[in-house]
Each structure stands twice: as structure tokens, then as C-alpha cells.
Structure 1
Amino acid sequence: MTSRAAKLLAADVPAIAAAHFEAEADPYGPGNPGGYVNLGTADNRLVWDLLAPRLSVPPRQADVHYGLLYGTPELRSAVATLLAPVWPGVDAEDLVVVSGATAALDIVATTLCDPGDVILVPAPYYAAFDTDLTARSGARLLPVYLSPDDGFALDPVAIDRALTEARREGVPVRAIAVTSPSNPIGHVHSPTVLRDVVRVATAHSVDVIADEIYANSTFGAEFTSMVGERNVHAIWGLAKDFGLSGLKVGVLHTRDPEVLAAARALAYFAPVSTHTQALVTHLLSDGDWVEGFLTESRRRLHASATATMALLDDAGIGYVRADGGFSLWTDLRPHLGGTDEHTLWQRILREGRVNILPGSVFAAPEPGWFRLCHATGADTVATGIDRLAGVLS
């Protein structure tokens, strides 16, 4: 086995995926009341009734043969139209469509980084970054820990300080990776903060990887994209905003010609099936339906988040208030007692049969924080929090 293959094997399945598959193998439901309550997976399960009637399009002959490997012109044009309100001046020719946001993150990291280069990441950060950004590129992640005292707010000053120190120590930082809206915290970053992050990156001659997969899944504040500068490479996909994670459609946007050319070449290894591309193109072709769908999805997410926060309040469980995304960053520090975070996580998973994820997999700066996802049925969320409170008590 080659050293590269051994490294990929060592990376294994990310913790968030492993916990997901275990919970989904024995799911809670009316016919299985003792099953796992899965509040660990950031999957939008609130909108299937809206999507189902739109996904029964029979394939044409052209849809079952080879297509352009970085996305058909029709699909890229449809995505550009969809994202025009949030990605200023988006051009279909600047888009690369690949098999999921994971593939897009892998491609941009492999394009930007040589083995040993560093990607700086404000922490807590999306757990799968550890695999998506490093497993194939050979890059390393350098966390910049955000403060719980101000709700883990994105801090351009801390990023600037970390870049300055890295440069002084000879650390080869190549990029900054930011989730916007943030995962796992659920913050919708302000335009001022995002501009400052891009300004800091530009001053230090590093690129920005902007994971904006929740761009249309906000409800407490208006989303602002980081797209604009040549050194910003943005990621989006259908998994979150459209609740279609299984279709594996991800998008990379870049205005750097060299990055674009390399990403198109690497898309050879991660294409989306032509049938899926045709299906998504059809789904996005009705602008009025898309607008109505996203409006209703945001309304349902807002209602879900609000109800979940009320349940957590009733249970005496702390959290950081979210403005977007599918999760709440819950504070279980008071319940650690004399135990460690991993032990508490396993008690919640094994005794309570509730899947929520510990902060350690998100590189949290201190133990006791957990990500709880709420974008599923209200009864499921209520049952999960009731079980969680039982374990904690």
C-alpha cells in the first residue's frame, strides 16, 4: 500500500458520518419508539413534501450518456440564476459542478495547497474539514480558537494575529477556511466582519475558502456572501438549502483562472451523473417555485429552531442562539461533573439513544459543547431533548 493510500485509510470515516450511520441503522419512529433519535446529522428533513412532486422527471436519452464532467452548461446556468441574489455577479463560467460539497472542498484544497501547507480555520469548525481539506491535499489545519465569552463570534483580529504569528514562525499558511453561515454555531456573519476577514487574507497574501452551503438557510439575519475578490473560492450545494444531500451535487465558484482550470481538470474524478444534472436543472428551472420553496424552507427552519430553543430552555440546557443552519451549539459544560466529554457523549448515545455530536470533533476550545441538529420532525426533536434531559439529570 502506498503512503498516500495509508493516509487516506488512517483518516477513516469522519466521526459525524460514523455516528450518523449508526443512528440511521436503528432509527426512532412510530414503529420503533426505542430507536436512536438522530439529532447529530445536519440534514434538512422538513421539506420533502415540497420536493417530492418535483423529482419525478423521466430521463431523456442524452441524460444517460457522457456529459461535461464539470457540469453541463444548462445546470451551471440554472445554479448561477439561483445564486445570483446571494453571489454578486456570479457567472456560470466560474462554476464547477462536482459530486457534493465534500468533493468541491477536496478539489479546492488540493488545488491551493502542497503537502505540508496550512489552512487556517476559525474554531469550532465543521468537523469534516479535517478530512475534506487535508486527506488528499496533504494540507494541515491550524485552528484559531474563538471565544465562548462572545458566543464564538468570528474574529478578524484573531485571524490576523494568527497569520502574523504563523508567518513569523515560518508556517506556510495558504488559505483561510470559513463556514458562512457558520457550522456548528449557526451565526450569520455580518458584512463588516466578512469584509474584514477578506481584507486580512489579502494583506497576508492567502486565499479564502468560503463554505456557503447554508446560504439560503438563514432565518434570523440576512446572509452576505464572501464572493467578490479573486482570492475567494466559494462552495455551495443542494444538500442543505434543498434537503437533497443524497444527490451529491456540489458547486465551486472561483474567479481565479488558474484555480478554475485546475478544478475543472480534477472534476474528472468527481462528476455528477448526467441524469442527476438533468433532474436538478429541471428542479431549478422554475424560478417562482424555487423562490416559494426557499421562503417556506426558511419559515420552517425558523419555526423549528425557535421550538427547539424553547425546549432547551425548559430543560435548563444552555445554547448559543442561531440565525441560520440546522444546528444549535449547546452548552453541556455544567453536566460534565467529574467526567470527560467523551464519556458524557457515550452516555447520551448509549443510554439515551440520542445522537448529538461532541465539541471535540469540531475542534471546540474547551470540552462540554455539543452540536444538536433540529431540522427534522418536531416529535423527533422533542423526544430527543426529553431523553437528553433524562441522561443529564
Structure 2
Amino acid sequence: MTNNKRLSQRGESAASKPLRMDLEIYNEAIQNRYHPSFKPEGTFPMTVAENHLCWEMLRDKMQEISRNQEIPEWVASYGDPAGVLTFREAISGFLGEFLVKDKIDPNTLACSVGATSVIEMTSFLLGESGDTAVIPAPSYPVYTADIGVMAGLKRFDLQTHHEVSELADGFPVTLSHLENAKKDIEEKGSRFRMLILTSPDNPTGGIYSENQLIQIADWCEKEEIHLIVNEIYGLTLIDIDHPEIRKDYPKAIEFKSFGGIMKERKSPYLHLWYSLSKDFGISGYRVGIFHSYNEQLIAGYRNIGLTHAISNHTQWLLQEVLSDQAFVKKYLKSFQQALTKSYIIVRSTLKKLQIPFNPSYGSLFVWIDLSALMDMQSKEAQHQLWLEIFQKTGILITPGNGFGHSKLGMFRVVITSVSHTELEVAMERFEKFYIEKNSETN
């Protein structure tokens, strides 16, 4: 019998599954973006996690470097697949100064083309096909593909709460949750291999306290489960002491990088993910970073990482940026101020309309509850509401599909993909829509 299939089973599966369920509408929105003069009825794409707030400042710095410095000869040659030493030294200096607040050995770092690559590589090296990664819900939808396509790991969405109000005092992840998940996974014939925490979180904007991370790390080390904390938004922090929002945090949690706990313990089971995509708004540069004291894991990463290696020119340019710590300090201050302003714009509208949401500590998002606008609590009603918001307002946000959470009617709003002026126009449109829709529903 002749096999007429043009692709492998893997190829056919890939061709039939879109990367994101909102990608087609996102591309439509991008082609029709709002402009106050040319497209006043245009759209506001607020669904893809991009940060456009301080790009001009960073671009000017990169242009200055390119004008005033010669490109070194090593840029044209092959380099260390895990990142050339001078680049890893610049990364270690940057992370040590601004994120971890302690010195980091560049030999504990491995770099590759974006956070997706780092997640995929780590999953491939730590887990066997059929193993399970546990992720507290709601969480980044594309984790499913990042851990599953190449490594073959399964995703377990850990339900720790239902209502957004339950996040008021931080993530309600307990050791009992983890014990029950382990039992459930093992009863189904799999192995609880990895626990992934994102702090600040996508989509809720919450953070894990240092004590909570210590307790979870204790449990994971005892159970020989790999704990990975994703700090891709580690410097995307909102000024929670700003007078307009201070009252939203009656029991404020201080962000502390997991890197400090890792350095103290140097455990082979504790790891950290980072990227320049979000804090610096350069997702197109494709720079992901893995930090671990597991020497065997770093060696494995290097040995199979050639296909994931970052362009040497990108490494050179960014090492020059990051080595200028006075500039980085100035940039981060400007970015965090702009981020806080964006958050306040969105928060003010949500408060005015009495829409439940989780007060963000950081990240690019606000996680909001629009279930009151749904006639029925169903995935179909949620999908229809998402489409209606876009069709009537031009605002494209992310529905709860794929985040793995039990509550329907939840939506993620990216607050950094448009300017402050554009964001204010978008919120005016949203307010008008919400009032009209709410009167119809009630």
C-alpha cells in the first residue's frame, strides 16, 4: 500500500494546530491599528505580551553603540552554543545587579533564542516523554506547546482558587495542593517531574513571597522534583507605593528573585528562567536565559544547544547595552514609571465600572473578570463575548481559553502594547461598551 501522506504524523499535527487561537484576529487588528488622524476608528491589539513603552530609549542606545564601535571579529565566527563568555559575563553582571541582587557565576548561565527555546531545552533535558509539569492555574497558554512539542511533557493545571478575589493575599498555592497533584499524577501513570512558577505572573500579575518560595523549594528538593521559577517579568514591576493605587495592597508582598535562594542552596533541583523580551521590550531579538547550579544540566544544554544559539551580533550588541549599568538603571526607572502609568489608566476604568480584577504587582497584564456580561457560563459564551468586544470596540484582549483555569469569563489585558494616549482612548471605548452590555445583560 502506498503511503500518500506528505507529512509525518508530527507534521500533520503541527499543520492542524494554530500557534494561538487568536492569531488570525490579531493579524487583522495589527493591519488596522488606531491612529488619531489616519485611523480614528482603528483597533487596539492588547492580546500579545509585548512591551512598547520605552523602545525609543533603548533603540537610541543601540544606534549609538553601532555608530561608535566597531563590530569585533568574533561576531562572524561560531561561538559557544550556550552564549559566548563575554555575553554571559554581561548577563551575569546585569542579573546580579538588578534582579538577583547578588553576584552570579556566568558558568551557571546558558542562553538561547528566546524564552520559548529556554523552556523547550530545559523540558527536553529534565523530563522524559510522558512526564508531567505542574503549573498553577491560570497560566501562560503556550507553556503547553513549549514543554510538549519536543520534550513530550504533559501539562497539569493546578487549581488553587476559583474567584479572582482569592488572590488578594498572594497565590494560594500550598503544599497540600502539591501533594494532591503528585498523587493524582502518579495514579494516572505519570511522573511529577517539574513545577513551574511564574513571578511576576502571566496573566494575574501576582508574585510569590520569599517565604512561599522557600517552603515550595524545600518540598521539591525532598521529593526530587525540579522547581523552575520563570522571572521573565522580574523587572516589570509596578510601583505599588504610588498614591493612586497604594490602598489596593493592604498586605503588600515584596518581590524577591528566586536567584537568591538558589545561590544559598546550590541545589540541582532549583532553576530560573529569564529573557530580555519583556523587561526590555525586545522580543524580536530572541534572547532567553537559563540559570542553574546543576553543572550536568548546563553541560547538556551546551552540548545540544547549537540549533538554539543566539546570533553573535545580537550577543555583542546587547552585552554592550547591559554593561552600561548607568544606562540600564535609567532605562528601568523610566520603564517602571511608564508601566505604572499604564496600569493606573486601566485600573481606573475597572474601578469605575466595578469590574473584579487582580491588583498587579508586575508583568504586562491585568487579569479581569467579565463573567457578569455572559448570559451563560460556557466556553461558547466566553468566546462570543471576546469577539463582541473586538467587533464593537476594536479592542483585542485575550480570552481565558488555554490558561487552564476553572473560572469562565476571565480575560487578560496587555497594558504595554499601546501608548498611554492610545490606552486612554481604548478605555473610553471599553467603558461605553461595558455600560451598554451590562444594561442588556441585567
- Which TM-score bucket, shorter chain as reference? over 0.9
Corresponding residue for 1:118?
132
Instruction: Decide whether aligned partners of structure 1 residues 155 and 83 sit closer, same or farther in structure 2, where only a CA change above 3 A counts.
Output: same
Q: Give the letter aligned to residue 338 of structure 2.
A: R
Corresponding residue for 2:47?
40
Q: 1:181-330 to 2 correspondence within 5 Å? A: 181-219=200-238, 220=240, 222-227=254-259, 228=262, 229-330=267-368
Shift of 1:234: 1.2
Corresponding residue for 2:174?
156
**Cα distance in 2 for residues equivalent to 1:136 and 1:189:** 29
Q: 1:43-122 to 2 correspondence within 5 Å? A: 43-56=50-63, 57-58=65-66, 59-85=71-97, 86-87=99-100, 88-122=102-136
**Cα distance in 1 for residues equivalent to 2:20 and 2:271:** 24
Shift of 1:156: 2.5
1:24 aligns with 2:66: no
**Cα distance in 2 for residues equivalent to 1:279 and 1:172:** 42
Contact 1:145–1:364, Cα closer than 8 Å, also in 2: yes
**Cα distance in 2 for residues equivalent to 1:26 and 1:131:** 29
Instruction: Decide whether aligned partners of structure 1 residues 255 and 18 sit closer, same or farther in structure 2, where only a CA change above 3 A counts.
Output: farther
**Which of the numbers 377, 382, 393 marks the counterpart of 2:424?**
382
**Cα distance in 2 for residues equivalent to 1:337 and 1:26:** 30
Shift of 1:18: 5.0
Q: Give the letter aligned to residue 4 of structure 1.
A: R
Q: 1:337-376 to 2 correspondence within 5 Å? A: 337-338=375-376, 340-375=381-416, 376=418
The Cα offsets for residues 48-95 of structure 1, whole Å up to 9 and x where unpaired, read as 232121111333443233332221111100110111143355211111
Q: Give the letter aligned to residue 75 of structure 1.
A: F
The Cα offsets for residues 116-158 of structure 1, whole Å up to 9 and x where unpaired, read as 1111110000121111111111111011012124127241332
Most deviating of 81-90 and 36-45: 81-90
Most deviating of 221-230 and 94-103: 221-230
Q: Give the letter aligned to residue 166 of structure 2.
A: D
Most deviating of 12-21 and 213-222: 12-21
Most deviating of 227-236 and 1-10: 1-10
Contact 2:133–2:194, Cα closer than 8 Å, also in 1: yes
Instruction: Decide whether aligned partners of structure 1 residues 100 and 389 sit closer, same or farther in structure 2, where only a CA change above 3 A counts.
Output: same
**Cα distance in 2 for residues equivalent to 1:10 and 1:154:** 37
Most deviating of 42-51 and 163-172: 163-172
Instruction: Decide whether aligned partners of structure 1 residues 20 and 279 sit closer, same or farther in structure 2, where only a CA change above 3 A counts.
Output: farther
| TM-score (normalizing by structure 1) | 0.94
**Cα distance in 1 for residues equivalent to 2:172 and 2:408:** 19
The Cα offsets for residues 148-191 of structure 1, whole Å up to 9 and x where unpaired, read as 24127241332232123333554311101111111100012110
Corresponding residue for 1:331?
369
Contact 2:132–2:185, Cα closer than 8 Å, also in 1: no
**Cα distance in 2 for residues equivalent to 1:93 and 1:312:** 46
**Cα distance in 2 for residues equivalent to 1:370 and 1:333:** 9
**Cα distance in 2 for residues equivalent to 1:75 and 1:270:** 15
For structure 1, the 5+ residue unaligned runs are none
Contact 2:138–2:203, Cα closer than 8 Å, also in 1: yes
The Cα offsets for residues 197-228 of structure 1, whole Å up to 9 and x where unpaired, read as 21222232210122110111112353222230
Q: Give the letter aligned to residue 181 of structure 1.
A: P
Identity %, equivalent residues: 24
Structure 1 stretches (4+) deviating beyond 6 angstroms? none
Most deviating of 225-234 and 137-146: 225-234
Contact 1:177–1:208, Cα closer than 8 Å, also in 2: yes
**Cα distance in 2 for residues equivalent to 1:164 and 1:203:** 15
Q: Give the letter aligned to residue 85 of structure 2.
A: P
Contact 1:176–1:207, Cα closer than 8 Å, also in 2: yes
**Cα distance in 2 for residues equivalent to 1:384 and 1:133:** 35
**Cα distance in 2 for residues equivalent to 1:15 and 1:96:** 31
Shift of 1:381: 1.6
Aligned length: 393
Corresponding residue for 2:440?
none
Shift of 1:239: 0.7
Aligned-residue Cα RMSD (Å) equals 2.0
**Which of the numbers 3, 18, 21 marks the counterpart of 1:15?**
21
Contact 1:96–1:267, Cα closer than 8 Å, also in 2: no
Secondary structure at the aligned position of 1:329 is classed as strand
